[in-house]
Amino acid sequence: MSKPVRVRFAPSPTGPLHMGGVRTALYNYLFAKKNNGTFIIRIEDTDQTRFVPGAQDYIMESMKWCGIMPTEGPGIGGDFGPYVQSERKELYKPFAEQLVKDEKAYYAFDSATELENVREQAKQMGMPNWQYNSITRSSLRNSLTLPADEVQRLLDSNEPYVIRMKMPRNRDVRLNDIIRGWVVVNTNNLDDKVLFKSDGMPTYHLANVVDDYLMKISHVIRGEEWLPSAPLHYLLYEAFGWDCPEFAHLPLLLRPDGNGKLSKRDGDRLGFPVFPIDWHTSEGELYSGYREKGYHPAAFINMLAFLGWNPGTTQEIFSLEQLTEAFSLDRVSKAGAKFDADKTKWFQQHYLRTTPDIELAMELQGLTSKELSVEKLIEICRLMKERATFVSDILTEGNYLLEQPKVYDAEIISKKWKSETTEYMKDWLIEIEKLQEFTAHNIETAFKDFLASKSVGIGAVLLPFRLLVTGVGMGPGMFEIASFLGKEEVIGRMKSGLSSIESLVK
């Protein structure tokens, strides 16, 4: 029987969660749900120097907004907690010491200054990339070179030390990544990474492997930037005598032009957010988020799912449940995924159009200070949503449904308001006044009769009519707008529009 699927999203609280991080969380979530597994969040905060207050709450809130909540994690519970590494601090050291005992790791006493000097000397000898590794370790101050009693003395006298991995010499490490296939790295290219730091904290590598083991993680699904660390992690599992989880390294997210990684700074600079929700820095800067820009979380998630994965069909619109059904790691590509801001808007437009009018109306009620009945708001949504991207656009784009226009599109007036137009509009106004039932259908029939009686084409009259009533040259069906506004309002608007425009064209 295969092991139960347990996957984790393991962000470090070093700042707001980038959209790439949300995608990692999403793929973990989808993979867990698809395989009746468990999705866990673990906060990796062993690097105290990079800790940013508020980042953990931001991560949790972002995941909640996206609807991809884990079933184990801080504040959620689970049998494998605590789920914040700094709260597990005490448990890592015995693991590091076990490796020393088994001669897979060693104590290193070299001070920062000593290492700096060695590095400097190497640089002067033409070796700019000096490393603490299987060759250089033999001439440094560690438990492999110092006599045992000296090592004991240093430990007893609380001399600062780190524990380093004893990287084997000249071995090909072979690991089979679900997305990338076989990855082979020779250990001569790897250094003796620090596993345990002099401040008493494990490094990311040790804590990550120990926790994945203790939390019974079956698959490690994470960003490509962690691929270089995977051979070390593989060797750590081997050194402990543990089964290695399966690895899947997700492709990078690239800038829209394909030129390099999508970074934190790109977002607002290129005109779209790269964060799920707004982030306010302690310096008072704002990094904008999709939530505050008005995106529906389902649109955001749908867009993210396609950054690196495709279903193998032409279907593009997926709910979270449908994604869960369709998702598989086999269909995640190796190649970097280009972010496309227009496509993101397209997903959002789709979600807006398919959201029931009553739901949009309720949202709109919170956005306007005007007293409008739900029926009116539903009608406004019905008229405007085809032309909107965000819920708030319905009110801004459709402002003429709420109030009389204050300005009239000057370009349309200069191009389309002919000498006879005013006369046509005055005559059309007389027809409108005669109408009994002011329905879209009745207005349209009367309008067609009017065109016939004047022997003019629709273009010469409909656009001026729209301009008088709405102030602009485009919008939803004009007869529907007129019927929505009501006869009195339309007549009033036409009269004041005519007097404004007459003074303009004189």
CB of 335 to ligand GLU, least distance (A): 21
Q: Which of 5, 7, 10, 383 binds ligand GLU (CB under 6 A)?
A: 10
- Tell me the CA distances in angstroms from 129 to 118, 119, 259, 500, one per residue in order: 11, 8, 27, 75
Q: Is 224 in the site for ligand GLU (CB under 6 A)?
A: no
Strand, helix or coil for residue 103: coil
Per CB under 6 A, the segment of 5-13, 94-102, 440-448, 466-474 that binds ligand GLU is 5-13
Nearer to ligand GLU, 178 or 412 (CB): 178
Put the strands of the sheet holding 105-108 in their side by side order. Answer: 105-108, 162-165, 194-196
Nearer to ligand GLU, 104 or 222 (CB): 222
264 is catalytic: yes
Nearer to ligand GLU, 46 or 421 (CB): 46
CB of 333 to ligand GLU, least distance (A): 19
Q: Which of 34, 89, 216, 264 is catalytic?
A: 264
CB of 43 to ligand GLU, least distance (A): 9
26-55 binders of ligand GLU (CB under 6 A)? 44
Per CB under 6 A, the segment of 9-17, 234-242, 256-264, 399-407 that binds ligand GLU is 9-17
Q: How many residues bind ligand GLU (CB under 6 A)?
A: 8
Per CB under 6 A, the segment of 4-12, 275-283, 301-309, 481-489 that binds ligand GLU is 4-12
Measured N-to-C along each axis, helices 440-454 and 421-434 cross at an angle, to the nearest 10 degrees, of 130
Give the DSSP per-residue string, 298-366: HHHHHHHHTTTB--SSS-----HHHHHHH--GGGB-SS-EE--HHHHHHHHHHHHHHS-HHHHHHHHHH
- Cis amide prior to 82 (ω within 30 degrees): yes
Nearer to ligand GLU, 7 or 298 (CB): 7
Strand, helix or coil for residue 287: strand
List of E strands, 143-297: 162-165, 172-177, 181-186, 194-196, 219-223, 246-250, 253-254, 279-280, 286-287
Q: Is 226 in the site for ligand GLU (CB under 6 A)?
A: yes
Q: Is 302 in the site for ligand GLU (CB under 6 A)?
A: no
Three-state SS string across 343-360, please?
A: HHHHHHHHHHHHCCHHHH
Q: Which of 137, 222, 296, 493 binds ligand GLU (CB under 6 A)?
A: 222
Burial class for 24, CB neighbours closer than 10 Å (0-12, 13-18, 19+): buried
Per CB under 6 A, the segment of 7-15, 294-302, 345-353, 438-446 that binds ligand GLU is 7-15
> Percent helix, strand, coil in the chain (nearest 5)?
50, 10, 35
Q: Which of 7, 12, 73, 219 binds ligand GLU (CB under 6 A)?
A: 12
Which residues of this protein are in contact with ligand GLU, per CB under 6 A?
10-12, 44, 204, 208, 222, 226
Supply the residues annotated as catalytic: 264
